[in-house]
Amino acid sequence: MYAFKFIKAHSIAQALQLLHHDENAKIIAGGMTLIPTMKQRLASPTSLIDLSAIPDLHHIQLHDRFIEIGSLCTHDQVSKSSLILEHLPTLAKLASMIADPQVRFKGTLGGSLANNDPAADYPAAVLGMGGTIKTNVREIKAEDFFQGMFTTALHMDEIILSIRFPLGQRASYQKFRHPSSGYALCGVWVSSSANEKRVAITGVYPCVRRWPQAEDHLLQNKSAPSFESTPIDLENILATHDASAHYKAQLMRVLCSRATQEVMP
């Protein structure tokens, strides 16, 4: 590892001031992605601005129509919060499926969304539920937030403060873990409310995305349908040496059926 400054910010204002002061500075939350990236020299910030001591970023609050989760909440906290277990149990389950206990104790919701790994789990929940990402300057709808592989709508000096997850949906998340990394080879989130069905796919494309043909199929059926002949955009699938486009497409179909059976029995 090379030399860099490590500064603990105690407020958002201080973190922003530090970011403006050094154009090569980077925010650090859990460090679960940033530190390995630095070790591999894929990133070499001159200073790290640690958000962990900022008190306003650790809350989990129930509102009338949504639950707001502070960006610094760890996967472990999300998986065990009594409020989330009661009102968004599928989100708690998804958090418990991320990596291993060590990563879940350090990795954060905000860090995962800002990183936008194509195989990360939370993006499927945020897009699948129609969540909103609140930053120090604006509120960004999930549809506008995830823009491409490791790319989001965040500007250089924008910090995620919290994420709002709407209530009143039945949901299921089905994940097929990569046997070595634990990341999603394919993850399917299905949400159903009185007037909307949403299907979000992670692990398959360069960026999380909805599967509109499956959503239409769900709207046309009262009970859980099969997705055997639902069209899939094969061309843009991120095929790897261990998972071809056809294999990932088949996983999408199978996992979507399983998720739908839970949501629309």
Ligand X SMILES: Cc1cc2nc3c(=O)[nH]c(=O)nc-3n(C[C@H](O)[C@H](O)[C@H](O)COP(=O)(O)OP(=O)(O)OC[C@H]3O[C@@H](n4cnc5c(N)ncnc54)[C@H](O)[C@@H]3O)c2cc1C
Residues that bind ligand X (CB under 6 A): 26-34, 51, 71, 75, 98-99, 103, 106-108, 110-112, 114-115, 120-122, 154, 159-160, 182-183
What does the DSSP assignment read for 166-220? ESS-EEEEEEEE-TTT-SEEEEEEEEEETTEEEEEEESSSSS-EE-HHHHHHHHT
**Residue 106 and residue 77 in contact, taking contact as beta carbons nearer than 8 Å:** no
Minimum gap (Å) between residue 201 Cβ and ligand X: 14
Least distance in angstroms from the C-beta of 124 to ligand X: 9
DSSP structure class, residue 57: G
Q: Which is nearer to ligand X, 107 or 131 (CB)?
A: 107
Which residues have CB under 8 Å from 220's CB, separation 6+?
none
Question: Which C-beta is closer to ligand X: that of 2 or that of 64?
Answer: 2
Name which of 111 and 230 has its Cβ closer to ligand X.
Answer: 111
Q: CA 65, CA 178: separation in Å to the nearest integer? A: 35
Residue 48 Cβ, how far from ligand X at the closest point, in Å? 8
Nearest residue (beta carbon) to ligand X: 111
CA distance 63 to 30: 26
Q: How far is the CB of 223 from ligand X (least distance, A)?
A: 31
- Comparing CB distances to ligand X, the nearer of 139 and 196 is 139
